[in-house]
Homo-oligomer: A and B are copies of this chain.
Amino acid sequence: MEVLVPFSTDRPKSRLSSVLDPAERAAFARAMLADVLDAVNAAGGEPRVLATGPVEPETECPVEVDDRPLTRAVNAALSDRRTTADQPVGIVMADLAIATPSALRELFDAVERAADVSIAPGRGGGTNALAVDHPEFHVDYHGASYRDHRRIADEVDATVSAIDSHRLATDVDEPADLAEVLIHGEGRSAAWLREAGFALDASGGRASVVRK
């Protein structure tokens, strides 16, 4: 399955600005992108980066540049694919630093076997990963998009499979999310954080991070 991985080259990960400076945020975003591309490849997907500007991923991967906002760029890409092939398409966010091949395989398998659309909700109601095999489904990433995507699927009579995965629910946006990368990550993102001096602080209720 072709899997689009949207990636913003323009001030990525601004909500991490309290713990990482702009150059660090860019480097960490690239490490997460590489982890996601590796996981998609290992899950049997064929990743393609859908970037807002030129980028050379650390993992070799074709890149398509589209500087439009996320929703419009993804809908244009979905529309393109429909005119050229009747194949399912995946859309996996570039900051799923602890995504595993098995969780992604479950997402892909769901549309290859049963549902028209499979959705992995993110924490806080976003849509972290999608697989789509329906001619009319479109995306709308604004706000709590998980519910909107379920509604859109209903409106076009597309069956939906929700993928229950902590790995896929964890998009790395805020400092607290870095703890998940240190706890579960085994790839470049976790290595990057450790190299940058981050460590787990398990003194409170939920683990957070400290930086040396």
Q: Which residues of A contact B (CB under 8 A)?
A: 15, 100, 102-103, 121-126, 143-144, 146-147, 164-169, 173-174, 176, 179-180, 183-184, 200, 202-203, 205-208
CA gap between A176 and B173 in the complex, in Å: 15
Copy total for this chain: 2
**CB<8 Å pairs between A and B, sample of 25:** A100-B164, A121-B184, A123-B123, A123-B166, A123-B180, A124-B176, A124-B179, A124-B205, A124-B206, A124-B207, A125-B183, A125-B202, A125-B206, A143-B202, A143-B203, A143-B207, A144-B207, A146-B183, A147-B183, A165-B165, A165-B166, A166-B168, A166-B169, A173-B205, A174-B205
Partner of A121, one of B166, B174, B202, B208: B166
Closest-by-CB residue of B relative to A182 is B125
Contacts of A121 in B (CB 8 A): 166, 183-184
Which of A15, A124, A184: most chain B CB closer than 10 A? A124
